[in-house]
A and B are shown apart, each in its own frame.
Chain A
Amino acid sequence: NAGVTQTPKFRILKIGQSMTLQCTQDMNHNYMYWYRQDPGMGLKLIYYSVGAGITDKGEVPNGYNVSRSTTEDFPLRLELAAPSQTSVYFCASSYHTGSDEKLFFGSGTQLSVL
């Protein structure tokens, strides 16, 4: 019962470095999402995907890129890390039917950019 798996759990980056946050799900969900969580600010949607090969911007996409080459995987790429990207990142997935949709979240990646 793996569900949504995120790696790494923690990471410290220097300004300007790049990295990829990995996310994979084994529930055959069509929709996948990336959120960031800042203290007191809730969950902000970065990017989402409605299926393999299709991605779209969320509320706060600047500084990030995504790809969805398979149903299972939805990596998030930071090209030039900035201190403003210090946050906790959550990947989620759902089976979108149009009427009943529940998001399942991974356990998060805590990223610090120094």
Chain B
Amino acid sequence: GQQLNQSPQSMFIQEGEDVSMNCTSSSIFNTWLWYKQDPGEGPVLLIALYKAGELTSNGRLTAQFGITRKDSFLNISASIPSDVGIYFCAGRRGSYIPTFGRGTSLIVHP
């Protein structure tokens, strides 16, 4: 099956710092999705990207659809304690079921 490499696996940062994470694939995707999972809950969609080069923001979060269509990036600016959770990327090719990355676990120290 398709493989998504998501990095880093975990991050420990101080409140106020900016965060960057990314996903890469050997396959081209038509859609990139970024989800956040709060502890004890299911993932919730943060940002959806549909076009190569697209840059989309949702509050302090900004995600980009890579030009090669094989990667995507998520940035969080000025992190706060409630940003804690696991962030998942997911890529979708055509009408296929989305493939999920392994997640980036974010811990924010006050």
Chain A residues close to B by CB (< 8 Å)? 4, 33, 35, 40-43, 45, 48, 58-59, 90, 92, 96, 98-108
If the complex has contacts A43-B100, A58-B97, A59-B1, are A102 and B33 also in contact, measured as CB distance less than 8 A?
Answer: yes
Q: Residue on B with the closest CB to A96? A: B95
Given the interface pairs A102-B33, A107-B40, A107-B42, the reply to whether A41 lies near B102 with Cβ below 8 Å is yes
Q: Which residues of A contact B48 (CB under 8 A)?
A: 100, 102
CA distance A92 to B33 in the complex (A): 15
- Known A-B contacts: A42-B103, A102-B48, A104-B45. Give 9 more (CB < 8 A): A35-B100, A40-B9, A41-B102, A42-B88, A42-B102, A90-B42, A101-B92, A105-B44, A107-B42
Which B residues are CB-close (under 8 A) to A45?
97
Number of interface residues of B (CB under 8 A): 25
Q: Which 9 A-B pairs have the closest CB atoms?
A: A105-B42, A42-B102, A43-B100, A105-B43, A42-B100, A107-B42, A98-B95, A90-B42, A102-B45
Give the dominant DSSP class at A's interface.
loop
Bound-state Cα–Cα, A101 to B90, Å: 12
Q: List 14 A-B contacts (CB under 8 A).
A: A42-B100, A43-B43, A43-B88, A58-B97, A90-B42, A90-B43, A101-B31, A101-B92, A103-B35, A103-B43, A103-B45, A103-B90, A104-B45, A108-B40
